[in-house]
Structure 1
Amino acid sequence: MPFIFTHAPQRLVIALAAGLLTIAVTLSIYGSSQPSERTLLGAVANLLPASELISDWEIAIMPVAATPEMKKAVAEMLNYDDAVFVNYVRGKMRISVYIAHWNPGKMSHRLVAGHTPDVCWTQAGWQCESGRTVSDLEVRARRLQPAELRTMTQRGVTEYVIFWHLVGNQAVTYGTNWRPPWYAMFLDIWQSGLQLRKEQLFVRISSNQPLGDFWLAEPVQILASNLVDLGSLVSAGS
């Protein structure tokens, strides 16, 4: 027993010091790593459907500052390289599309993840009534990467939201449906090595109609098809 009480604290200190040293070396290498190449060469607006393909829809280009994501960013900027916010309306259906893009090495994807609807919308007064990961979406018979689906409400208004956070063309989800867990940074290092500063694309589609209705609408199908052509949304092996 005296041996345990005498040496256990020393072993604990050594273990903690080794852990801190490992983290320091990891962060040092990460900070000096070279960012990956950019795949999106044009403006994000080019991903939107051409107006002549959806002539029966009313199209309204909205200020990016009007999105819940930007309304939340008061003390900090999203620092994106390009972004677009568009409303499509036909009859009773309204579809809102928000896309933001970050060049490789521009922004920590952990900071971008802090501005998803799970965080920004709820802090802007919306309530998340339900949330799940959707893995069965398809476009042109090709399976898409998992998307996050949320049902949000505010003062009697219901909004159905689906979004992808793509890091290096890989959809990021931690299976928590909310904020990334405390171990997310270590999970990133395990899955992606030390090259974490990749190109990022955030795509959010929301509507006053459920997913089953708005997903088949022409603006959404054309947008998803354009993203598949870019190589951003298609699932591996699809």
Structure 2
Amino acid sequence: MPTAPLPASPDPTAGPSHVAIIMDGNGRWAKARGLPRVAGHRRGADAVRRVVRGAGELKIPMLTLFAFSTENWTRPADEVSDLMGLLRHYLRSEIEELHRNGARLRVIGNRGGLADDIVRDIADAEQRTHANARLDVNICINYGARDEILQATRVLARKVAAGDLPAEAIDEQRFERELLTAGMPDPDLVIRTSGEQRISNFLLWQCAYAELVFVDTLWPDFGKEHLEQAIAEFRRRERRYGGVG
């Protein structure tokens, strides 16, 4: 990816308004240094802090981070336990800074699979920050896009079967109201770190017309400067949405 920096005073009206990031490479970062995988996840939490601050400084209205997928439960039990511990720590230690900096936190995913204390921490963090308007920070936890689409389809199917909704009334807007991201704008830019070039079951419906930027940097090393480079690449592109430029 080209690494030309943004202009000294980037114009936020040029977009993107919503940046989504697949945070990848914690394990490889740790392995390269002879460290346990949890060390990579801990350094990855530091990168989250840097990027949230950077997004606020760059005046990005919305940031969505893919933290834990429905498929991640298949990882070794000790690694999952470490990840849940880091999630607890983040929700309890970082929420004050988020609140102080005007960030509103929203967690997207199936909370039924999470421990009760984590669900309570999420609710407390969302309530504490719900009136903030400087930056929306969405964290996807126990999230899978296929599961999200299936759940939305089942809800609408039950309404049709009950006679509460005509099948012909289901359009894109009606379907989107049943997604976990209801009320959110679609991502303009999706970034994946670590050199991998795939979406990995992340916001499949919402990313239909997102610009994709893949970077080689491992997530624990990712910072504001990498975010700036990805935004610069986004602004070089012409978005046609299936039409003619």
Greater RCO (CA < 8 Å, at least 6 residues apart): 2
Judging by fraction of residues, say which structure has more helix.
Answer: 2
Question: What's the TM-score once normalised by structure 1's chain length?
Answer: 0.26
Q: Which has the higher strand share?
A: 1
